[in-house]
Structure 1
Amino acid sequence: MAYGINRVILAGNLGADPDLRYTQTGQPVLNMRMATTEPYFDKEGEKKERTDWHAVILWNKRAEALAPILRKGSQILVEGRLQTSTYDDREGIKRYKTEVVATNLVILDKKNGGGQGRDEHQPSGSPGGSTDDIPF
Structure 2
Amino acid sequence: MAFVRVEQRNARLASAIRLEQVNGREGLVARGTVTVISNVRRGNEPEEATAIPWTLWGKQAENAAEYLGKGSRVNVVGRLRNNNYTDASGITVYGYGFTCEEIDYLDSKAEAEARRARQAKAAPQTPTGQGTPAGDDDIPF
Q: Please give the range of the TM-score, normalised by the shorter of the 2 chains.
A: 0.5 to 0.7
Q: Comparing 80-89 with 67-76, which one deviates more in the overlay? A: 80-89
- Normalised by the length of structure 2, the TM-score is 0.66
Shift of 1:93: 3.6
Counterpart among 95, 98, 104 of residue 96 in structure 2: 98
Q: Partners in 2 of 1:85 and 1:41 — Cα distance? A: 29
Letter in 2 for 1:24: N
SS state of the match for residue 59, structure 2? helix
Q: Which runs of 4+ in 1 moved over 4 A?
A: 88-92
Structure 1 residue 83 and structure 2 residue 81: aligned? yes
RMSD: 2.4
Does the Cα contact within 8 Å between 2:8 and 2:77 map onto a contact in 1? yes
Letter in 1 for 2:68: L
Instruction: Give the greater-gyration-radius structure (CA).
Output: 1
- Normalised by the length of structure 1, the TM-score is 0.68
Write 1 or 2 for the structure with the bigger share of strand. 1
Write 1 or 2 for the structure with the bigger share of helix. 2
Q: Partners in 2 of 1:20 and 1:90 — Cα distance? A: 28
Letter in 1 for 2:10: A
Number of equivalent positions: 108
Gapped regions of structure 1 (runs ≥ 5): 114-136
Residue 71 of structure 1: aligned partner: 69
